[in-house]
Structure 1
Amino acid sequence: MKNTRAPVLSLLLLTLIKAAVSNGSPASEPLDLNGNYGPDTPIVTISPPNQVYFVGADITMSCSAQSSPPAVYQWAFNSVFYNGSGSELSIKLLQLDNAGNYTCMAYNNITRRYAAFTQELSVVAPITTVTVSPSRAQPIENKTFSLSCEVSGTADSWRWLKDDQPLSTNERITLSGENSTVSFNPVLQSDNGTYQCVASDPISGMVSPGYTLVVNYGPQQVSISGPDAYPIGSTASFTCSALSHPPCEYTWLFNGKEIAQGSVFTISPVMPASVGSYTCEAFNSVTGKKTSSIRKEFQLTTHVSQPTVRSNVTDPVEFNDTVSLTCTAYGSAVFYRWLNGSSVVSDSERIRLSDDNKTLTIPRVLRSDDGTLYCYAFNAASNSTSEPFHLVVNYGPDAPVVIISPPNQVYFVGVDLTMSCSAQSYPPAIYQWAFNGIYLKELASELSITQLSLDNAGNYTCMAYNNITRRYAAFTQELSVVAPITTVAVSPSRAQPIENKTFSLSCEVSGTADSWRWLKDDQPLSTNERITLSGESSTVSFNPVLQSDNGTYQCVASDPISGMISPGYTLVVNNPNGSASLASGHAVEVAIAVLVLLLCVSG
C-alpha cells in the first residue's frame, strides 16, 4: 500500500512557509524536509511466473516494499533465514527439496519497522511413466484382486478407465490410496476388460498402457456330448466340454476307472464290453478346481424304421383348433427332430415340443402355420425321415371387399356396371348378394347390372360363407344413381308480384338434383328474416316482396357429378297504388319531357 504521510507533511510545511512570506515576515534559509516511512507489506514476484515448477528449472524471486529510506531485505525458507541480504533470491536447478514457503522481510533502520510476506513455491517432478500393477498374476473368480497405479514422477490425482470409459465403482469395486488403487472384492467374469490409470500433476497428466484383466474361472457345466448308443462294430466318439479359463484338462473314467486323457474319447470298435457308465473329469490348473460330468450310460443300438406322422385334427380351423402331430418310429434309443421344409423346428411361443420331441403341438392354429412338416428319427445306428405332412389350416372368410367397375361415386341412369366381391378364405368362400336386405338369386362373386335406373339405387350386401369353418362375413356397398340434369327453370308463385305481399320463386329441374343455390344479378343471393330459403334451398320466399328486390334471378341446380344454371328471371315488383306504381325509370323520362316543354315555352 502506498504511504501518503510524507506528501501530506510536505504540503503542510509548504503552506506555513507561504503564509509567513505573505505576512511580510522575513524568509528563512531553505529547509530540505523528507519524511521517513515504511516499509509497507512487501510484494514478491517469481520469474518466470508459474503456479508450479518442474524439477531442474531456474527461478528468481524479487521482493519490493514502499519505504523511505529504502528497506533492507532478508529471506527465509520454511522459517530458516538465509545468510546475507538482498531484494532478489535466485535458485538454480530446482529440486523437490526446494518446494516450501519463502518469506521476504523488509526492514527500515530509521523507522525501526519491518514487514514480511510469505510466498509458497510448488515443485514437482514431471510424470515420465504410468503403469498398472496387479496384486496377483492370475486373478481367480470369487477371490479378492486389486490393481495399483505406479507412477514415476509426482502425481496428486488418479482416475481409472475400463474399456476407455470412466470406471464405475460400487460396494464390490472400491478405490483407495487417493484413488491410486482399485480393489475387486471379489473379482468376477463381468470385470473382464482393459484397465488404464490416468495420473496427473497440476500441469499435466499421463495415461498408462492398458492392462487386460481376464478372470480365471471354472471348470463349470461339465458335459459329455455324443449318442447314447452305437451298433456293434462301429466307432463311437464322445466329447467332453466345460466352461473354463484357461481351458481345462480332461480325464475319462469308465465304470469309475481312469481310461484316457483329452477332451475327445473314441471307442473303436464298439463291442458288448463297451457298454457301461462313462464319466469325464475337468481340471483347471490355475483355479485348482476339479469338476466331474454327469455319468453317461452307453448302450448298443438297432436300426430305426421310417417314422409316421399322425394328426389329432382332420380339418383344423384357424383360432379354434389345437393341432398335435405325433411321430412314431421303431428301433433302440430313438431320437426325434421336426423339420419345416429344411429348417429345424424348435420350441417357441407358437410351437411346443414334448420332452422326447415325439409330439409337436400348435395351440389355436393360424393360417401362417400352413406348411410341410417332416419327422426325422435317428439313433447311433441309422436315421430315417417321414413322408411329408401337409398342414392345411382352414380360415376365413375375412371382411369382404367390394369393387365397382367402372369406379365412380355416383352413376347416371342408363350405364352398365359390375360389382365384384372378394374375401380371404380357405377353402374359397361361397358368395351371395342382397339388395336393400332382400336376397338375390345369384350365388357368385360378381353382380352385373345393365341399363341402370333410379330403382337400382340402394344398399348392396355381399355375404361370404366358408362351409368348413362355418363362418360368414358381409359388407354393404351403397350405390347412388341419378338422372342427368337436362333443364333448370325459375317459376314464380304468381305472374304479377305486388309490393308488400308474399312472393316466391321455385327452381324446377328435369333430372336429379341434390343441391340448389340462387343468384341475383350474377351474385350469390343474400338472405335475411324477410328473404328465406326452403325445400333444401330450391325455393326462395319474399315476405313481403319489395321494389328493392327487383333484379334478375337464376337458380343453380347440381348433382354429385355436374350442375346447370337456369335462364334469368327478371323480377319487377308492381306498386298496388296504380299511377304511383310508375317505375323510377319512367318517372325520369316524364320529368325530362316536362323540363323540355317548359324550356320551349320560355323560349
Structure 2
Amino acid sequence: MKETHSCNLLLLLLHLAGLLGSAVTNAGGSNGISVLLDPVIVGPDFVTVGVPCSFECVAQCFPSCNYTMGKDGQVEPGNNLFFTVVQWKETLTITCTARNTSGVSSTVEKILQVLEGPNNVTIIGPDLMTQGYSESFQCHAKCHPSCNYTWTVDQSLVGNGGNITINSSDFAFPVKLDCQAENSVSGLYAMASRTIPVILGPSEAEIIGPDVVVVGVRSEFQCSAKCTPSCDYFWIYEGRLVNGSKMEMTANRHVKSEMITCRVENTVSAHSEVVRRTIRVEEKSNATKVTQIMSLFLFALTITLASVISP
C-alpha cells in the first residue's frame, strides 16, 4: 500500500509540473520541489509628472518568495513601489525580482510611458474685441504626448482645437472665454479663462445743461456717451478747444444764441461722434436790474445815515 501511495503522489507531482510548463522551475533534487511562476507587475501603463503612483509585484511561489522592486536601476526590498515622477522623459522602466527560499528567482520589467500636463494653460489673443468684428485666439498648454482643447464662450460650447475665431456680435459683452486642455492619454485636464472687453461706441452722445444762459452768468454743461473702454471729450466754443467731459461757459455779450460742440472719441479705436447744441442767450432781466439798483440805493442810504449820526 505504501508503494502504491508513493507512486500516485509522484504521478500527481509530475502532472503538476507538466501543467506549469516552461514557467515552472524545478530545483532541489531529492530534497523537494521549488515552484516559481514568473512574477507580474500590476499597475498602470503610464505615469504622470507630479502625480503619485503605485505598483505591486505578484508571483506564485513555493516555498514563499521575497521581492525587490525598483525604477531605472534603483532597487528596494518589497513587492510594492510608490513614487512620483518629478521631471518628464519619454519612458521609465520598473523591475521586479521574485526569489523563493530555495534560491530560485525570476525578474520581470515594465516600460512605462511618461505623461506631463496639462500645465500652464494659456489663452493667447487680443486684449480687446471690436463690436461686429471677428478675432482669433489660441490655447497653449505644456502636454506630453499631446492635449485636446475645448472652447466655451459664456458657458456655451463653441469649438475644439488649439485655435478658434469668434465674432463679438454673437455673444454678450464682455466676452467670457474659456479653454479646457485635456491630456490625450490620461484624461487629466486644466482650464484657462479670459474676459475680453468689447470696444463699443461712442454712441448716444449728448450735451446736458441749461437751454438758456444769461449774459455774465456762469453756466455748466456736461457731455456724455456710451463708450467701452472709455472716451475722451473735446469741447469747441467761441473757437476754443476745451478738454474734459464738463465745460463752464459765461456769455459775455448779448446775442440771439450760441453754438457749443462736443466731440467724443474712443480712446482705443479712435472712432468719434460729434454732438452740437444751440443755447439761447438772454440779457439780465429787469427784475435783476431793479434788484441791483435797490442794492446800490440801500448802500448809499446807509453811508448817508452813518455820516449824519456820527458827531
TM bin (shorter chain) = 0.5 to 0.7
* Equivalence for 1:233: 216
Query: Which of 156, 159, 166 is residue 175 of structure 1 equivalent to?
Result: 159
Give SS of 2:278's match: strand
1:43 and 1:220 mapped to 2: Cα distance? 79
1:55 and 1:242 mapped to 2: Cα distance? 53
> 1:53 corresponds to which letter in structure 2?
V
Query: Which of 114, 134, 142 is residue 144 of structure 1 equivalent to?
Result: 134
Give SS of 2:90's match: helix
Structure 1 residues 190 and 126, CA gap change in structure 2 (3 angstroms):
closer
Q: Does 1:289 align with 2:274?
A: no
Q: Does 1:156 align with 2:151?
A: no
Give SS of 1:272's match: coil
Structure 1 residues 189 and 50, CA gap change in structure 2 (3 angstroms):
closer
- Cα deviation for residue 126 of structure 1 reads 4.0
* Equivalence for 1:482: none
- Cα deviation for residue 245 of structure 1 reads 1.5
> 1:156 corresponds to which letter in structure 2?
C
* Equivalence for 1:123: 114
Query: CA RMSD, aligned part only?
Result: 4.8
1:236 and 1:134 mapped to 2: Cα distance? 49
> 2:127 corresponds to which letter in structure 1?
A
Structure 1 residues 59 and 267, CA gap change in structure 2 (3 angstroms):
closer
Conserved 8 A contact 1:223-1:240: yes
- Cα deviation for residue 55 of structure 1 reads 3.7
**Bigger radius of gyration, 1 or 2?**
1
* Equivalence for 1:215: 198
Higher relative contact order (CA 8 A, sep 6+): 2
Conserved 8 A contact 2:128-2:198: yes
* Equivalence for 1:250: 233
- Cα deviation for residue 137 of structure 1 reads 2.8
5+ residue gaps, structure 1, are 1-10, 15-30, 65-87, 101-118, 305-603
2:245 and 2:88 mapped to 1: Cα distance? 63
Conserved 8 A contact 1:225-1:238: yes
Structure 1 residues 44 and 98, CA gap change in structure 2 (3 angstroms):
farther
Q: Which structure's residues are more often helix, by fraction?
A: 2
Conserved 8 A contact 2:257-2:280: yes
* Equivalence for 2:289: none
> 1:262 corresponds to which letter in structure 2?
G
Alignment of 1:562-573 (within 5 A): none
1:157 and 1:186 mapped to 2: Cα distance? 24
**Taking every aligned residue pair, what percent have the same amino acid on both sides?**
19
5+ residue gaps, structure 2, are 1-7, 24-36, 60-68, 74-84, 94-109, 286-311
Give SS of 1:243's match: strand
Structure 1 residues 45 and 54, CA gap change in structure 2 (3 angstroms):
farther
* Equivalence for 2:91: 98
TM, length-normalised to structure 1: 0.30
Alignment of 1:34-73 (within 5 A): 45-47=40-42, 49-50=43-44, 52-55=46-49
Give SS of 2:190's match: strand
Give SS of 1:216's match: strand
Conserved 8 A contact 1:220-1:243: yes
- Cα deviation for residue 232 of structure 1 reads 2.4
1:541-568 per-position Cα deviation (integer Å, ceiling 9, x unaligned): xxxxxxxxxxxxxxxxxxxxxxxxxxxx
TM, length-normalised to structure 2: 0.54
Alignment of 1:38-437 (within 5 A): 45-47=40-42, 49-50=43-44, 52-55=46-49, 91=72, 95-98=88-91, 121-130=112-121, 132-154=122-144, 156-160=147-151, 167-169=155-157, 174-177=158-161, 180-186=162-168, 190-192=172-174, 194-201=176-183, 202=186, 204-208=188-192, 210-254=193-237, 257=239, 259-273=241-255, 275-293=257-275, 295-301=276-282
